[in-house]
Amino acid sequence: MRTSDPELGSSEESARKDGGASAKSAELTLEQIQNFEGKYPKQLWYLFTVEMWERFCFYGMRGILTIFMVDRLFLHEKEANLKYGAIQAFVYAFTFLGGIFADKILGFKKSLTFGAFMMILGNALIAVSPDHFFYIGITLSVIGTGFFKPNISSMVGYLYKDGDSRKEAGFSLFYAGINVGALLGGAVCVWLGKNHSWSLAFLAAAIVMFLGLVTFTLTKKHLGPIGDSPLKEALPKVRLKKEVFVYIIALLTIPLIYIMIQNTDYTDYFMYTIGPLALIYFFYQFMKVSTKADRKKLTAALILILLSIVFFALFEQAGGSLALFAKNNLHDKLLFFHIDPNIVNNGANAFFVIAFAPLLGLVWVWLDKRRLEPNTVVKFGISFILLAVSYYILFSTRLFANENGITSLNVFTGAYFVMTIAELCLSPIGLSMITSLSPKHLSGMMMGLWFLASAYGQYLAGLIGAGISNPNENATLLEKLDSYTSGYGQLALYAVIVGVLVLIFSPIVRKLMQEVK
């Protein structure tokens, strides 16, 4: 038998320690990531790509939901609007829970991976049998998006040091990634669903989400400690038990969401409950914040979040009433070519974001150099005014209609252009502001609260869409045109009122934000 040499054993042990230390030192630190040169960190491009594929999946699915429910499930337009609003509300409401679970137990990386898997499974099930598995597939997609969406946005925030002036530009680029995916998903899924089969449309969403998961799995090592579990230092058994608990909770919600999507009356009860509970939890965490400065910032963040509810309630008609308006009441001629109006409805917003977000960023930079750039709250007010203009343009489509109630796709697209500029004055800036105004240990919760606000916006948008739908199943296209355009005129008025109020009270909110611009 070979006996061990004490000196050899000692040197081997030393080598193992050195090797372990070298491997550990090779891991990226947060400081190394944040000390990047140039305008964007390389990790932003990885997250950009992952988010692009996820948004392809999400917006592709969103763009066909209402049309699918009317044409394939034979639901009335009002009921389809209500179900669309419920589905979208649950998607965003679950982001609040997903953000908390990531903050406290899973970490962003594991939360994102679990969410992506659930979205793949959900869309794949619908692809197998749209008629039989639609509601269960949508339920799984709701849960998956809730675990995915707030956490990838939070990881973008961690790429930058506090006060880094490049952060807003980074979120603008990330927002462009969202819209590249939305543009591709909106066009491809609508085209597949309306011209080939609904199964292929949902299968396409599942495939691209799989690409997103593979991309994240291969690149997450470059994120270093960003997104690691907050229980990383806990005993493995303790950490495993808590993680399994989260997955069990997520699975137990499946029948609950399934029932509430099928019966939208239950959705009302859910929305009446989740909001107050979220606010109670927010104020519980708020009282634990030690500094007065951080409390003021959190108050400002909450005000911006509440304003976003109103904005998205007015803004988010694309997947509901505007989808049906495009399907029923629009010509297929855009400029000098013919195109499906639903592809325009589902892709125009994303196209204009990609085309004009960089230009708007340059405008803000040009104004900033001359000390004329409006602060975040004023930009919120401007967004409401522009949103009102877009709805007045949609209202004006009745002036271009023929005797059959078919109107101009060009005017409709012009309204989307103005609506997109309105969105760019609020949404990407809002994402950046929430991460800047939130203490690091509450960033996941606050990002989840931002998306929960979107849930309420989507929920209210569904009610609004149902309200402006003509309840008469035998209504003519001219009567439908009158119903929808009258509703858009009302939305324009509401947006003007809110925009003026925001501009009046902007100095008070700006003071709460302190050094955050």
Query: How confident is the model at residue 103, as a pLDDT?
Result: 80
CA distances from 364 to 169, 357, 444, 448, 513 (A): 11, 11, 28, 27, 19
Low-confidence ranges of the chain (pLDDT < 50): 1-25
Report which of 272, 260, 270, 414 is spatially closest to residue 352, judged by C-alpha positions: 414
pTM of the predicted model, to two decimals? 0.74
Distance CA 452, CA 274 (A): 9
Report which of 489, 375, 428 is spatially closest to residue 170, judged by C-alpha positions: 428
3-state secondary structure of 263: coil
Vertex 400, ends 399 and 401: CA angle to 5°?
Answer: 100
Query: How confident is the model at residue 26, as a pLDDT?
Result: 54
Task: Note every long-range contact of 503-512, with CB atoms under 8 Å and residues 24 or more positions apart, other chains counting.
Answer: 503/378, 503/381, 503/382, 506/375, 506/377, 506/378, 506/380, 506/381, 509/300, 509/303, 509/304, 509/377, 510/375, 510/376, 510/377, 512/296, 512/297, 512/299, 512/300, 512/303
Residue 474 burial (C-beta neighbours within 10 Å; 0-12, 13-18, 19+): exposed
How far from chain centre, in Å, is Cα 277? 21
With a CB cutoff of 8 Å and minimum separation 6, the contacts of 184 are 56, 60
**Ordered structural domains, the chain, with CATH:** 39-262 (1.20.1250.20), 290-516 (1.20.1250.20)
Report which of 459, 477, 296, 499 is spatially closest to residue 403, judged by C-alpha positions: 477
Distance CA 344, CA 348 (A): 5
Q: Identify residue 421 by its one-letter amino acid code.
A: I
Distance CA 431, CA 400 (A): 38
Q: Report pLDDT digits (tens) over 142-175.
A: 999 888 876 777 788 889 887 787 877 787 778 7
String of DSSP letters for 330-385: B-SEETTEE--HHHHHHHHHHHHHHHHHHHHHHHHHHHHHTT----HHHHHHHHHH
String of DSSP letters for 32-80: HHHS--SSS-HHHHHHHHHHHHHHHHHHHHHHHHHHHHHHTS---HHHH
Q: Report pLDDT digits (tens) over 218-245.
A: 999 999 999 898 888 888 888 999 999 9
Query: Is there a contact between 342 and 190 (Cβ–Cβ < 8 Å)?
Result: yes
Query: How confident is the model at residue 150, as a pLDDT?
Result: 65
